[in-house]
Amino acid sequence: MRNFRGRSNAAQMTRTFTAMILLIVLITGASIAFVVGYRLTRNRMDDSSVLVSSLERSIIDDEPDWHHWKQTSPIDTDDTYVKVITKIPGKKKETFYSDNAEDFLAAKQWAIPGFSRFYYSDDFGFFYRSGSESRHVYYETWTGLHDVVHIFRLILLDLLIAMVLCGILGYFVTAWLARRLNQPLSALTNAAKQISHADNISYHETLPVPEHPDEVRDLGTEINQLLQSLNDQALRDHQFVADASHELRTPLTAIRGHISLINRRGQDHPEVIPRSLAFIDRESSRMQTLVEHLLQLSRMDHAEVQLSYQDIATAVKDTVNRYQGSLQQTIELNIATTSMAYFNPESLQQILIALLSNASKYSPANAPITVTVTTQADQPVIMIADQGMGISDANKAHVFERFYRVDQARSQEIPGTGLGLAIVARLATLNQAKVTVSDNQPHGTIFTLHLTTNLVD
């Protein structure tokens, strides 16, 4: 019953359907009552016209033969009353009453408002009154509507019983149906509650998704996809913290080792001090770069950048000219096609500097680096190509991951944090761009930045 509270779907469905069933029964009953009532009343009105015609036919040679009419007329004297007044010129005015008509006319009658020919009398019930005049004879007839009232009562009683039965039956059937329809949703809610109250909130179980109905299955699938992406995010965050701690622990341990070395041997062997200080200086600056990269990445998680439609060649030339001085290698700038694209100039500069710095780190000092601005499949691209050690296909798939460093780079003691390309990839995404990596010929690496000319909201 918990899912059947007043404001639950099931309760609302039950109320609405029961009310609808009652309304349908009421409308059907009322229309039947109206049609039957109208038809019966019309019949009685026709009876009354037939009666007047038969009265008119009873006048022979201006002389009404009432006694003959009374004997031959099939009228029900308990139900129909007749009063006839003759005003034949030269003859005495005469009034004729059918059986019981005088008693009936003596009783008090009320006209029914809105229905000028219908009357009600406490003792005699409902009547239809009609009058006509023909050949100096005035006829007045009252036709009883007892049958009509009786059938009307029966219909109303029937309607009442039907409403009660349909109401009770409708209530239980719709309540059962609503609960049945709601059951998969309730099951999903209960499963979600269990998960949200679980102890380990860093990893979310997926919900059991029913096959039917389609709406609940779709909702469950969507929630599961959401949970899956939350799980992935939680795992990534977990891995990120673990990797960051690991990366920071290595230089910290080394720094502490050298400090302890100075403490132990510094006094007797002062020659170890400058070497250890140089090491501490190098490791602490590596740590500083690492922390800055970490901060940069975490800020970019929820960052948004303003993109504007600009000339690519100008932005690339600007960065290359400014950065050339700090690299050992020469940079050859090749503007094959100059085109426009959407980008944020600051982000583009950051991306170019990171890629140029990598190209410089991982290639010999005498091998020039080429920066090309061109188009590929009608899309503007910027390519940074070096003639260095290159990246194997197996490693290409991972170089954009956080903290990923190819072993060769580590073994050759090339300084780095393994975060540079992760930052580049994130910056590219923020600029609705994409970075890809491929081999240069005969050796080396090409990083290609594919810029966008159509913004997606």
Q: Which residues of this protein are in contact with ligand ADP, per CB under 6 A?
A: 358-359, 362, 386, 388-389, 391, 399, 404-406, 409, 416-422, 445
Q: Which residue has the tokens 């029961």?
A: 18
Q: How far is the CB of 416 from ligand ADP (least distance, A)?
A: 3
Q: How far is the CB of 320 from ligand ADP (least distance, A)?
A: 16
Residues facing residue 311 across a β-bridge: 340
Q: How far is the CB of 443 from ligand ADP (least distance, A)?
A: 10
Q: How far is CA 271 from CA 195, 351, 446, 457, in A?
A: 62, 42, 45, 62
Q: Got the DSSP string for 289-322? A: HHHHHHHHHHHHTT-----EEEEHHHHHHHHHHH
Minimum CB distance to ligand ADP smaller for 301 or for 378 = 301
Cα separation of 124 and 102, whole Å? 13
Minimum CB distance to ligand ADP smaller for 178 or for 399 = 399
Q: How far is the CB of 384 from ligand ADP (least distance, A)?
A: 8
Any idea what the Cα angle at residue 357 is, between residues 356 and 361, rounded to 5°? 115
Minimum CB distance to ligand ADP smaller for 44 or for 426 = 426
Minimum CB distance to ligand ADP smaller for 59 or for 384 = 384
Cα separation of 132 and 415, whole Å? 122
Structure tokens given for 82? 């007749």
Helix (H, G, I), strand (E, B) or coil at 454: coil
Minimum CB distance to ligand ADP smaller for 75 or for 389 = 389
Q: How far is the CB of 305 from ligand ADP (least distance, A)?
A: 20
Helix (H, G, I), strand (E, B) or coil at 216: helix
The continuous run of DSSP H or E covering 188 comes out as: helix 146-196
Q: How far is the CB of 388 from ligand ADP (least distance, A)?
A: 5
Q: What's the maximum distance between 2 C-alpha atoms anywhere in the chain?
A: 167
Q: How far is the CB of 413 from ligand ADP (least distance, A)?
A: 11
Cα separation of 287 and 250, whole Å? 10
Structure tokens given for 382? 């910027």
Minimum CB distance to ligand ADP smaller for 170 or for 388 = 388
Minimum CB distance to ligand ADP smaller for 373 or for 409 = 409
The continuous run of DSSP H or E covering 302 comes out as: none
